[in-house]
Amino acid sequence: MNGKPLVIGPNSNQIVVATVEGRPYYKIVTMLKSMNIGFSSLSPEEASQTNAKIIITTKEEASLIRRQDLMYDFQLDTFPPLFKAMLLKNLNGNYTEDILVVGVDPGIRIGIYVLYLHSELYSTVQGSLREAVKFIINIMSCINSSKKILKIGNGDSTICNHIAKAIKKQNRSVRIEIVNEFGTSQNILPNCRGNKDVKSARSIALRPGRTFQIN
Per-10-residue mean pLDDT for the chain, 215 residues long?
A: 40 78 93 84 92 92 90 85 84 75 95 92 93 94 91 94 94 93 61 75 95 80
CA distance 207 to 211: 12
* Closest by CA position to 55, among listed 19, 100, 85: 19
Task: Say whether both 104 and 72 belong to one domain.
Answer: no
Model pTM score? 0.78
Task: Say whether both 6 and 72 belong to one domain.
Answer: yes
With left for phi above 0 and alpha for psi between -120 and 50, is residue 107 left, alpha or beta? left
Q: Is 34 exposed, middle or buried (0-12, 13-18, 19+ CB in 10 A)?
A: exposed
Task: Say whether both 129 and 168 belong to one domain.
Answer: yes
Inside any domain, residue 155: yes
Inside any domain, residue 128: yes
Task: Say whether both 203 and 131 belong to one domain.
Answer: yes
CA distance 197 to 177: 18
Residue 207 has a pLDDT of 95
Domain boundary among the residues 42, 77, 112 is at 77
